């Protein structure tokens, strides 16, 4: 088994394993998708189909598995508890008694503050970082919305990357192209940030991975498009994230990095609804140790253990 030098985890909000139907699934309109997986690829369509099965091969040398995002709790999977589960390895909706949407409530906050992947890696002497840059507007808010990821960073005592880091090529915006910033999202600062392609954004993440054992990047425009976008906006959201995943997949082996891609719940893969879905979510892997990272995974509680195992952390 080859060991990765570092792990990059790309978290993509709101993408499930949907039908291979261009009429209802924007990923099915794109050629050669990686993140966009389809239910007919799963040997057994049931959500628990990953149990006891080998990782499924991808045409480009990667591997994937469908993971259960409902976690045995009734109702549609939601962002706060799904993300908290990914970041802690604990079944957050079961802990909270329900699926919690958007911003973590008190019980989910307590879970993230008790322990999370950043704290676990810090205790093991490993270097971890969050690649996303925060704008001055975020820091100026009197009561900012603190997501599950940001709450985890705060609990681990880790600094947030700022616009200065983005300009210096040491961070990515949640819209990795910087298009929303360049439209004026950061006032006059928007004129100073570069426009980035998927290839350029991937190279920034690989650069961070040369300095850190674990790098996390969060992309949530997919979920926003699923909730609010028209058909063309949803297709563009799918195309944009596929471009980033493509270049991360291509560069993983060259950089000696294990690239993992995960989502918290379904949404964008079904144009017939504006809510989340009950579909499983794909966990994808490229680079050294890719199939081994997925061997034990069956649901969202197994993402953090997969990262720790890949880095040799007990």
d(CA 179, CA 164): 17
Q: Which residues contact 233 (CB under 8 A, 6 or more apart)?
A: 225
- Taking the CA atoms of the chain, what radius of gyration do you get in angstroms? 18
pLDDT, tens digit (0-9, with 9 covering 90-100), for 127-170: 999 999 999 888 888 777 899 999 999 999 999 999 999 999 99
Q: DSSP 3-state assignment of 184?
A: helix
**Mean pLDDT along residues 234-248:** 98
User: Which band of pLDDT confidence, cut at 50, 70 and 90, is reported for residue 189?
Assistant: low
Nearest Cα residue to 284 out of 299, 263, 311, 268: 263
What would the two tokens of residue 217 be? 């990047």
d(CA 305, CA 284): 15
The stretches of 168-264 forming alpha helices (DSSP H) are: 179-180, 198-211, 221-228, 231-255
Average pLDDT taken over every residue of the chain: 93
Tabulate helix, strand, coil % of the chain (nearest 5): 45, 15, 40
Which 8-state DSSP code applies to residue 77? -
pLDDT, tens digit (0-9, with 9 covering 90-100), for 89-131: 999 999 999 999 989 999 999 999 999 999 999 999 999 999 9
Q: Which residue has the higher pLDDT, 263 or 183?
A: 263
pLDDT at 65 (0 to 100): 96
Q: Check pLDDT > 80 for residue 51.
A: no
| Domains, in order of start, for the chain | 15-54+70-210+233-310 (3.40.720)
């Amino acid at each position: 088994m080859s060991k990765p030098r570092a792990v990059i985890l790309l978290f993509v909000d709101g993408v499930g394993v949907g039908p291979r139907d261009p009429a209802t699934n924007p990923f099915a309109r794109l050629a050669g998708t990686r993140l966009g997986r389809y239910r007919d690829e799963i040997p057994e369509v049931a959500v628990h189909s990953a149990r006891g099965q080998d990782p499924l091969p991808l045409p480009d040398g990667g591997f994937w598995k469908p993971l259960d995002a409902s976690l045995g709790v009734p109702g549609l999977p939601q962002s706060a508890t799904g993300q908290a589960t990914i970041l802690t390895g604990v079944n957050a909706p079961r802990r909270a008694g329900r699926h919690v949407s958007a911003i973590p409530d008190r019980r989910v906050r307590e879970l993230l503050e008790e322990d999370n992947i950043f704290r676990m890696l810090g205790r093991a002497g490993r270097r971890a970082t969050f690649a996303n840059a925060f704008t001055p507007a975020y820091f100026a808010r009197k009561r900012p919305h603190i997501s599950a990821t940001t709450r985890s960073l705060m609990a681990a005592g880790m600094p947030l990357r700022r616009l200065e880091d983005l300009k210096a090529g040491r961070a990515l915006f949640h819209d990795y192209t910087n298009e929303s910033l360049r439209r004026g999202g950061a006032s006059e600062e928007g004129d100073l940030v570069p426009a980035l392609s998927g290839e350029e954004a991937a190279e920034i993440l690989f650069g961070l991975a040369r300095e850190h054992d674990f790098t996390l990047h969060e992309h949530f425009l997919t979920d926003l498009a699923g909730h609010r976008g028209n058909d063309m906006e949803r297709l563009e959201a799918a195309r944009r994230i596929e471009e980033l995943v493509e270049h991360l997949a291509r560069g993983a082996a060259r950089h000696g990095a294990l690239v993992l891609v995960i989502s918290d719940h379904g949404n964008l893969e079904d144009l017939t609804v504006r809510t989340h879905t009950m579909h499983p979510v794909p966990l994808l892997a490229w680079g050294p140790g890719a199939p081994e990272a997925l061997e034990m995974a069956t649901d969202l509680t197994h993402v953090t253990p997969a990262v720790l195992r890949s880095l040799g952390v007990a």
